[in-house]
Structure 1
Amino acid sequence: MSGKHVFITEAEALKEDFKGRTNYWLCRPGIADSEALQICRAVLPGGEGHDFHTHPELEEVIYVLEGEVEQWVEKERRLLTAGQVAVIPAGVVHATFNPGEADAMILAILSPGASEGPFAVDVSGEEPWKSLRG
Structure 2
Amino acid sequence: MRIIQCLSDIEYLRAENKLPMPLIKEIEQDFLGIYEAENHDNIYLLNYRFPLMQALFVLEKGDDVIGRFSDPFALEFVEKVEIGEVEYYRCGLRKGPFIQLYYSLMNSHKAEIEEWLREHAAWNEGIGDF
Q: TM-score range by the shorter chain?
A: under 0.3
TM-score after normalising by structure 2? 0.25
TM-score after normalising by structure 1? 0.25
Compare the two structures and name the one with the higher strand fraction. Answer: 1
Q: Which has the higher contact order (CA 8 A, sep 6+)?
A: 1
Compare the two structures and name the one with the higher helix fraction. Answer: 2
